[in-house]
Amino acid sequence: MSTDPGDVHYTHISGSGTTVVVSQAGARLRRISVNTPIASATITVYDNTAGSGTVAALITLPSTVSNPFGLDMWDMTMNTGLTLVVVGVGIDITVVWF
């Protein structure tokens, strides 16, 4: 894994669940793009290699959403790893990281 901003990666997540995006320290979260927003869905970003521990961000979509619903989180560097827990049937997101 590179932490060079020129070496950008993405992870697509569809539906509810826990996804370990990067399992080592140094990952930098650049953007979360909500491709299919679901009212009141939540996205919890953990600085960890599991869906527990240090919460870096907790995002709750509004009860009325529009498409697309992008969220910028520039240069959030993770000390342990990058894991997302997504709750919302039918939600679809893309995580951009380096």
Work out how many domains the chain is built from and give that number.
1
> Is residue 31 a part of any domain in this protein?
yes
Q: Is residue 4 part of a domain?
A: no
In a domain, 22, yes or no: yes
Domain of residue 37: give its range.
9-97
List pLDDT tens digits, range 43-98: 999 999 999 999 999 999 988 876 666 666 677 999 999 999 999 999 999 999 99
pTM for this prediction: 0.88
Domain assignment of residue 1, yes or no: no
pLDDT at 84: 98
Q: Which two tokens stand for residue 38?
A: 């679901």
- Here the CATH number for the domain that contains residue 91 is 2.60.120
